[in-house]
Amino acid sequence: MPEEPTRKAEPRWPAALAMLSIGGLYYALPSQLSVGPDWLVLVLVAVLTIPAMISYRYGNWRLSQLLGYAASGVVTLSVVISLALLISRLPAHKETPAQLLRAAAALWMCNLLVFACWYWRLDAGGPNQRDLRRSHTDGAFLFPQMVLDPDLRAEMGEDQWSPGFVDYLFLAFNTSTAFSPTDVPVLSRWAKILMMLQAAISLATIAILAARAVNIL
């Protein structure tokens, strides 16, 4: 039997909603920038995410975690392939400015949500492991709450604080816009590698694709 959480478990629906949103954004891309049918990624995400939520609800955390990893892997690969296809097609001028802007915006949002999901899934062993701890004191990211004095944390009602999906979404947003972690230092090498990859994808999307589209409007 799995261990019981030592505090109220973090809800899983924000991450599931993010995954389904990625599938929807990918569906909105021009057909030339997707591998297979337009609906393929959305269906794959739904097929993996919905059973993951059901498995978690019935206490099969291991299966839920594996399905979540599989869904994140699918969308990550899809975004990278679509970005590569778009960049490869730029010299041929096959996309209109409107299509370029739409594709750049969709890929930027997908990149943001994909890496937010990865940070949420991997930090400190993932959400299941974080739920087993009374408070969050160790992980790949040094959130401001982690460096507060214990007495001050208790006074603020944050003595059982643990990062949720929104915290990782905020981190991913800063990485995609400022190309840096801003107020959350990065401690682990795997997190630094992921953040470099996210920033590189965001830079390619904004600086190359969006700028190109605006230039030829």
The answer to whether residue 2 scores a pLDDT higher than 60 is: no
Q: Is 163 within the bounds of a domain?
A: yes
Q: Is 1 within the bounds of a domain?
A: no
What is residue 140's predicted lDDT score, i.e. its pLDDT?
A: 92
Q: Which of 47-56, 181-190, 193-202 has the lowest mean pLDDT?
A: 181-190
Q: Is 5 within the bounds of a domain?
A: no
Distance separating alpha carbons of residues 140 and 119, to the nearest angstrom:
9
What is residue 209's predicted lDDT score, i.e. its pLDDT?
A: 67
Number of domains, the chain: 1
Q: Is 3 within the bounds of a domain?
A: no
CA-based R_g, the chain, Å: 19
The backbone torsions φ and ψ at residue 10, rounded to the nearest 5 degrees and listed phi first, read: -70, 135
31 near 38, Cβ under 8 Å?
yes
Tens-place pLDDT, residues 21-73: 999 998 888 888 887 888 899 999 999 999 999 999 888 989 999 999 999 99
What is residue 166's predicted lDDT score, i.e. its pLDDT?
A: 94
Q: Is 195 within the bounds of a domain?
A: yes
Q: Is 8 within the bounds of a domain?
A: no
Q: Is 23 within the bounds of a domain?
A: yes
Distance separating alpha carbons of residues 89 and 208, to the nearest angstrom:
12
- Average pLDDT along the chain: 85
**Paired tokens of 149:** 């004095």
H or E stretch covering 54: helix 40-57
Q: Which domain holds residue 67?
A: 13-215
Q: Is 99 within the bounds of a domain?
A: yes
